[in-house]
Amino acid sequence: MGLPRVAAFTDSYLPTVNGVTYTVRAWREQWERRGGRMDVVYPDSDYEPDPGEYPVGSLPFPFYEGYRVSLPGVPDAVGSANLVHAHTPFGLGLAGLRLARKRALPVVASYHTPTGEYATYLASSPVIERAVERGAEGYERRFLDRTDLVVAPSERTADHVRDVVGTDTPVDVIHNGVDVEFFRPVETDRCRERFDLPGGPLVGYTGRHGFEKSLDDVVAAAEDLDVTLVFGGDGPAREHLEETAAAADVDARFLGFLDRADLPAFYSALDVFAFPSPVETQGIVALEANACGTPVAGVASAALADTIDQGETGYKAPPGDVAAFRDVIARTLAERDRLRETCLARRESTSVAHSVDRLAELYDRVL
């Protein structure tokens, strides 16, 4: 029997750049490389779709720049799918459920991000924020209870789904995986020249600049370190970060959005990847950095508590403790060469091919 035809529904896709986008895209490419078909239904945008990618109507999301609210449409082209994979519990996830119910198909749901994380963007007080979080958890539970299997990217996230969200649906872990053929150590001279990066130690981050990621802790930690900070990416917290760095007189470079092709050189140029986010479900950028030989200074919270192997691929500090985070950056810098060797030795174990092997097993189970 050949690989099943999968209809993947996601509210986050190109040209938006984030972990969900990269995961959906990488799994699709790997699935089709094996001879299967994985169609993707996503919010329309100025991205030109490839064959098998189907945009549906959407509107800008007013509370979070770069995101769109999808209308729950089901393109006719995905009607012959054998299985639905929902990467969102919202508009297009509901569309996936509708297709599954109409055609009696099994549904796998990926739990990428606790929706309660975004309560701070919608609430004006802590009381309202907590109420939004509780409402989000209740909504997630009702959505996941209508699926056949939940896939979480880490054990910590799986525990959250079982214990906090409280779904009755079985939960399995599949790491999102890294394209280790693409993310690898590369020459960095052109990257340094292009962005006018100095020759001293570079500590950096790339990805979405969201307030929930606590990126201002990177700036605060750098005040007493002889390093240059380098931020790639963009998001609602960028202006705040720039103002904070200027006020602290920290040497910080903001490169803006980086094309995917630029990322291996960016990661390779860094001495330390700094990642203080306490809310990650896996932290795929940390694994991408590791695959390029760059150790991570992060926090012992959420999935990063497992993603970063203490003393092997980086070091972790308690979340919100700037002094401890500064010490972690300094220690990672001091031991960079040793940590780099471990990062490179573990590349294959974090590959997207390994993850899709596991995905195929779970698809067979629900079918």
Asked if 66 and 194 sit in the same domain, the reply is no
Q: Do residues 238 and 335 both lie within one domain? A: yes
74 with 141, same domain?
yes
User: Are 153 and 260 contained in the same domain?
Assistant: no
Distance of alpha carbon 323 from alpha carbon 224, whole angstroms = 10
For residue 70, is it within any domain?
yes
| Range scoring the smallest mean pLDDT among 42-46, 56-60, 66-70, 344-348 | 66-70
Average pLDDT over residues 277-301: 94
Q: Are residues 216 and 112 in the same domain?
A: no
Indicate whether 64 belongs to any domain. Answer: yes
Q: How far apart are CA 311 and CA 327, in angstroms?
A: 13
In a domain, 40, yes or no: yes
What CA–CA distances, in Å, run from 172 to 11, 158, 286?
22, 7, 22
Instruction: Give the CATH number for residue 334.
Output: 3.40.50.2000
Are 238 and 227 contained in the same domain? yes
**According to the model, what pLDDT value does residue 249 have?**
95
- Judge if pTM exceeds 0.85: no
Residues 315 and 359 in one domain: no
Same structural domain for residues 120 and 138? yes
Model confidence at 123, pLDDT cuts 50, 70, 90, reads low
Residue 82 lies in a domain: yes
Q: Answer yes or no: is 183 within a domain.
A: no
Q: Are residues 231 and 337 in the same domain?
A: yes
Same domain (yes/no): 24, 44: yes
pLDDT above 90: percentage of residues in the chain: 80
Q: Are residues 315 and 361 in the same domain?
A: no
- Could you list the residue range(s) of the whole structural domain that residue 231 is in? 189-349
> For residue 15, what pLDDT is reported?
83
Residue 77 — φ and ψ, nearest 5°? Answer: -65, -20
* Domain count along the chain: 2
Q: Are both 237 and 106 inside the same structural domain?
A: no
Average pLDDT over residues 284-296: 96
Q: How far apart are CA 366 and CA 169, in angstroms?
A: 12
User: What pLDDT shows up at residue 56?
Assistant: 94
